[in-house]
Structure 1
Amino acid sequence: MTDSVLRTVVRRETHSPRTAAMLVVVVVLVLAAVYAAVEIVLSLAGQQPLLVAPGAAFDALADLPSAVVPAALIAVGVVLAIIGLVVLALAVAPGRLSKHEMTWGDRAVVVDNGVVASAVAQHLATESGIARENVVVGVAHRTVDVTVRPPVGIPVDTDRLRQIVDDEVASYRLTPSVRTVVRVERPLDAGKEGVR
């Protein structure tokens, strides 16, 4: 498999398509077009409109600048511009799936963030001697967040835990790269605040 093909496959697996956003916009536009067509047909047939007759709608639109306060027109324009920018951002910006590219030898592997989180948690539990259920790991697009909740009375070296996590995450060679955050949370003991 060539590098360009591999890059394309990895990109497709780590980025979400904008199908849902496009589908919503298309459905809204189709519904607007169907409504306009129904109103035009009713008007041509001499029937009562569903909401407003096309002629009355065009007349109201033509009279809008003089009938409405300019501040209201500006506010409506700003709201429409914001909606347009959101739709444009959804169309242009790449969506992200909860996956990372991991380099494995000379190959790239797409791995789910949940798998990375589970592997980091298990490795940290094994290396530190802290029970697995006391280690919580979350993996986001740019961050690996580790929370360790050791039982009361068990001493924990936060710097050592951070080093274990940093070394393990670095060995995965994730793309995009992630930073690690390690916290130690102690349960409340005899009314004292937990140590972080």
Structure 2
Amino acid sequence: MTDSVLRTVVRRETHSPRTGAMLLVVVLLILAAVYAAVEIVLALTGRQPLLVAPAAAVEALAALPMTVAPAGLIAAGAVIALVGLVVFAVGVSPGRLSRHEMAWGDRAVVVDNGVVASALAQHVSTASGIARENVVVGVAHRAVDVTVRPPVGVPVEAERLRQIVEDEVASYRLSPSVRTRIRVDRPRDAGREDPR
């Protein structure tokens, strides 16, 4: 498998398509077109419009600059432009899946964040001697959060724990890289974050 093919496969496995957002926009455009077509057909057959007749809508649109204050038109234009920018940004920016690329020799594998969290928690438990159920690890796109809850009376060296976590995360060679945050929650000071 060539490098370009491998990069393409990794990108597809770590990024989500914007199919949902595109489908929503297409459905809204179709509904608007169907509504306009129904109003035109009703006007051509001489029936009452659902909301507004096409001729009345065109007249109201033409008279809009005379009937609405310039500030209102500017505000409406700004809102429409903002909605357009949001739709454009959603369409262009890639979605993220809860996965990372991990270097494995000269190859790359895609691993789920849950697998990384489980492996890291097991390693921290084994290396520190703290029971596995007292180690909680969360992995996000750019961060790893490790919380250790040692039993009462069990001493924990925060610096040694930090070194264990950082060495293990570095050995995974994750892309994109992540920063680590380590907390030691003891019964008397639960919730206090270990300073970095």
Matched ranges for 1:124-163 at <5 A? 124-163=124-163
> How many aligned positions are there?
193
Conserved 8 A contact 1:16-1:95:
yes
CA contact (8 A) 1:187 1:194 kept: no
Q: What is the aligned partner in structure 2 of residue 37 from structure 1?
A: 37
| TM-score, normalisation: structure 1 | 0.95
1:76 aligns with 2:76: yes
Paired letter, 1:46? G
- The percentage of counterpart residues that share the same residue type is 77
Taking structure 2 as the reference length, what is the TM-score of the superposition?
0.95
5+ residue gaps, structure 1: none
Query: Which 4+ stretches in 1 moved above 6 angstroms?
Result: none
CA distance in 1, matches of 2:40, 2:100: 52
Q: Which residue of 2 aligns with 1:180?
A: 180
Q: Please, what is the CA RMSD of the aligned residues?
A: 1.2
Report SS of the residue matched to 1:155: coil
For 1:54 and 1:130, how far apart are their aligned partners in 2? 73
Residue equivalent to 1:65: 65
1:53-75 C-alpha deviation (Å, 9 max, x unpaired)? 00000111111111112222122
CA distance in 1, matches of 2:192, 2:67: 64
Out of 44-53 and 129-138, give the one that drifted further. 129-138
> 1:23 is matched with which residue?
23
Structure 2 unaligned regions, length at least 5: none
Corresponding letter in the other structure for 1:28: L
1:10–1:194 distance in 2 versus 1, CA, 3 Å: closer
Quote the residue 2:90 is aligned against. Answer: 90
Letter in structure 2 aligned against 1:115: V
